[in-house]
Each structure stands twice: as structure tokens, then as C-alpha cells.
Structure 1
């Protein structure tokens, strides 16, 4: 958290620090010009009595960009900046377009600081379910609603696969991190522990990145977050045909719900995944609620 607090205007830092003394598990800090500071915790939301001002916003932007906002043009096109510790600052305001695509955001009126928290060991109980001693790691899809801990679980799986155990050999892992959420890279360097045999392609579209990693890094296991486009599905099937194990996440509320979507219906019928894991926020983010075996539903 200190890397976040160091960037905040003094009165905002004081408020957030005080709020964290009496509340645990802060998840987001939202800053909107001429509005109270909003702190979202796992079980409640708090608002400051003072407002976040235009001057505060300018100071915060200067801190974020080290007084060189133009150096962050690529990040501005994506709508977020990743800072030390893997925390991500989402941005909103007036978009400037170039040939129909977002060139930058100016002025920026809102910030959403998403607090990154690596939970080491959260996937440990899944290892026995996802590793087949005869055939190796199983192709796995993790589904859950927003903020249920899908990425947290996937991140720790990457670490476990890359590190191995006393009875499971370490594997070469490739992470295609389109939104910089799995590894939380800063200047290309992961801020989270993904194990010693993991290579990260940061900020690259998933479908293109999967093919790049297969050609360049010869991974045994590929990790991708939030699949959902047709090109993602095709890349996953190509990776499977190349003998690469896929571990991925997707937004969804249940196996039955995602199975109705055309892209996932195709992937499930093609038996792209050996296990589908449903996760929830209780008793902790990334907690497994159900483990499904798609082949029992989609028989060839």
C-alpha cells in the first residue's frame, strides 16, 4: 500500500490511512474531481468529508507520470496506468480520438486505484485436482462474477505450475497479460510472484500473444485472463493442437450460463477444457465453489 499512499495528496493519504486502521481488505480507492474520496473495502464503502479537487487531480497525475504525462500515452490509450506493486489506476474523462480509436484521455476527471493483493497459496488445494500424474496439468477455465477473485486464483496457479512441488515437476509457463492484471508488470517487470519459470508478455492482445508465445517461448502451460472473443477461442484451440495446456478465466455466474454463449459452447464441445472452476468471494476472494468436468456434459 505504501507505493499508493506515496502518490496521494496529503489530505487523501491521511483519510485513506485512517480508514484502513478500522477496516480490513481495502480493494479500491476512487477519486473523482469535486466529489468525496471513496474507499471500498470487502464489506463496506466509506466516503471522506472533504472533496478531491482539481488541484489534487493535477498533483496526483504528476506523481503518477513522474511529471511526464506524455511518456504514458500508450497507457492512456488503454485507460489505466500500472504502478509499483502491481496496483492499477483506471482513468476516465474526455477521450480524444484518432481515426476512430482512442488516442488519449484529456482531461482526466476520475481515478480508480485497484489495490493489487497477491494471495500466495490460494490455489494450493486445487493442485491435486488440476494435476494428473499421468498426463500432466489439466486445461482449466476459471469462471466467476466481477471481483470474485478469478485473477487472484489464476495468478497463484501460474506460480504453482511454474514452481512445482516435491512430487510435481516445474513447468515452463507463458503469461499473456493483456490488461497487466496477472503479473502487474511495471516497465515489463512483474510485480507479483509468478514463479521462476514464467515468461510474461505484457499489454499484448490475447489471441496474438498466445501465438507469439508458442513460437518464441515454447511454453508447456499458457495463462490468459478474461477470454471471451472469437479470436480468443480460435487461439486457444490452436494452442491445444500445439500441445500447450491452457489455464484461463472468464466472466460468468455459472457453468450453465457460460455454456450458452456461442464462443464457450464451441470451446466446451471441442473439449478445450478438462475442468471448469466456479469461484466466489466467500469465505475469501478466489474461493472455489464448484468444480465441473465438461466432458461429462459434452460427450463426443
Structure 2
């Protein structure tokens, strides 16, 4: 994965990072490239600057400093040599490249009637490295089964940024699509682990990372993906066009997202989603998601630890906020996770 990410970087930066040894290539979550400032690597609760020889240090002095030309070449590469065709992505402040890696951007905002229209004078890049972690949701998916409805519970995965939400969501989609995750157990008279039709609405191209119509990640054999579409519109389109049994979306946050989830509920479709938040109380307090909690939509709420190992599950609770059971003896741990989180 490290080598695949380096291919997106300009030659001088790529050469420096290609000299990095030790554990950093395996555990780096972000590569921070700032014009004229120290090149930085970031991992869970850790960081290091990188010298021209590839050595890592906590001291910014002597670190490699990307030039203006380096930044222009990187921007040209990630926008496929046409900044103007990427205005929507620039307005959002990031570009997702093949492989699901998200490149955050910082620079000068250009406003139109008080709203951001695009970014200019871009001199800061945050390359968030996406990694697949097959099997990381194996201990969680059995807890999501709704025996009464004979389908998975509507589920919300909660954590701060970069703690593993998207990776856990992706693997849950894969397991539900592939089936066979319950070791042959029967739940409420039906095999809960039969393969399901799964629909992924991938607004940021991070869950499946579609390239030329094909997912970059394994999201299961019975999964259909709608890429680059706003979640609310995408959920309605997926319901009408692909009749999924399970609908998967990332990062609920707008009122229209909540409305679309309610529509899916009325259609009898299980929804698996994520939301940013330090804990359950934090997410409950968000006005845009309040209607979902008031209606007790989510039968299962999975919270990831805000610190410690990336991707470790803190607990799984029901709609009333009651803890179901302790997480598996070996906590889900997406080691070295970065990027699509």
C-alpha cells in the first residue's frame, strides 16, 4: 500500500519517502506535505518529520521541505491535469484517488455569496492512506442480527476521525454480502448468515473506491456501488434501482441524510452507517441526527475507542443505550489503519 501511495507523489517527495525504513511504511496513516515546511508522517498518537535521507525525527530542523514546484506537480497529478474539472472536489477540500486514498487540501478559499466555491493557492496536502482490513468486523456482525425482523439491525458506527469507522463499515458490508459469518448458527429460524444484497452509497469514494466501475476493495460478491453521489439522493436511487436488503453509507451528518435513512427504514431495508463523534452522547447531541435517535432507529450503536489501538471496539449498545455484552476477548483492532476512516 505504501508503494502505491508513493506513486501519486512528485519525484522528489517520492524519492525521500522511498528511503524511509522501519515500521513507518506499515503504520503511517497520513503523509503531510506543506510547501516550504517539514515533510511529516502521522500515525495513531504519533508523528515524525522526514529528512532528505529518509531518516525520521521529532525535530523539524533538517527535515525535507517540499518546494512550490513539488506542490504544483502533486496538484496537477491528483486533478488529472485539469483543476477546473475538479471544482466540486476542491470546494469540499479533498480529492479521492484510485485506491480510496483521500488527499485533503488547504489554501485560499474563494467565496461565492458567503459559500466556498473553490480553493486556490493550494500549498498543503494531507495524503490519508486507505487500508483494507478483511475480517476486522467478524466479531461485531453477529451482534447486529435482528432475529425478530430477520435482518441486521439498523446500525450506527461512531468514533472520532481516523479511528477506523469506514474500514469496519466496509468489512461489515463484505461479510453481509458474502454470507457465512455465523459459523452455521441459526438465528430466529433463519440463517442470518445467508448472503445478502448490499448497496453502498459511496459519496466520497472511500468505502469501495470505485475505479472504472469496479471496487478497489473487496466489498462482497452481492454488493452494488453508487459512487460520488450525495448520500440522501444516492440512498433513494439505490432503493429504487437495485432493491438492496442492506444499505451502507458513510458519515451521516446532514438533515437530508437522516430523512433518507427514515425512508429506507420504511422500505424494510437495513441501514449500516457511520457518524463522527467521540461517543454516543456526542452523536445524540447533533441536531441533524436527533430525529433518528428520537425515533430509536438504530437498534445497534457500535462505538470505537477514541484513543489507543486504531479500530478497537469500545462497546455495542441497543436503541435504549444498553450495552449488549463486552467486546470480543480479542478486540477488533485495525492496526496501522489510515485514510478512509
2:215, 2:117 → 1: CA distance? 26
1:4, 1:54 → 2: CA distance? 20
Alignment of 1:26-105 (within 5 A): 26-48=28-50, 49-98=63-112, 101-105=115-119
1:174 CA drift (Å): 1.1
Q: Which deviates more, 249-258 or 232-241? A: 249-258
Consecutive unaligned residues in structure 2, runs of 5 or more: 51-62, 185-192, 323-341
- Pair 1:296–1:64, CA change in 2 (3 A): closer
1:201, 1:246 → 2: CA distance? 15
Q: Which deviates more, 37-46 or 253-262? A: 253-262
Q: Which deviates more, 223-232 or 115-124? A: 223-232
Other-structure match for 2:314 = 289
Q: Does 1:258 find its partner at 2:273?
A: no
8 A contact 1:82–1:186 mirrored in 2: no
Q: Which has the higher contact order (CA 8 A, sep 6+)?
A: 2
8 A contact 2:158–2:304 mirrored in 1: yes
1:94 CA drift (Å): 2.2
Other-structure match for 2:244 = 219
- Pair 1:105–1:191, CA change in 2 (3 A): same
Equivalent position to 2:176, from 161, 164, 168: 161
- Pair 1:13–1:243, CA change in 2 (3 A): same
2:104, 2:225 → 1: CA distance? 21
Task: Give TM-score, length-normalised by structure 1.
Answer: 0.90
1:75 CA drift (Å): 2.8
Which has a greater percent of helix? 1
Alignment of 1:89-128 (within 5 A): 89-98=103-112, 101-128=115-142
Secondary structure in 2 aligned to 1:36?
coil
8 A contact 1:86–1:190 mirrored in 2: no
Deviation per CA, 1:112-168, whole angstroms, max 9, x where unpaired?
100001111000111221124551211111111121111111111111111111641
Secondary structure in 1 aligned to 2:64?
strand
Other-structure match for 1:175 = 200
Consecutive unaligned residues in structure 1, runs of 5 or more: none
RMSD value, Cα: 2.2
2:316, 2:65 → 1: CA distance? 46
Other-structure match for 1:19 = 20
8 A contact 1:147–1:281 mirrored in 2: no
Secondary structure in 1 aligned to 2:216?
coil
1:83 CA drift (Å): 1.9
1:188 CA drift (Å): 4.5
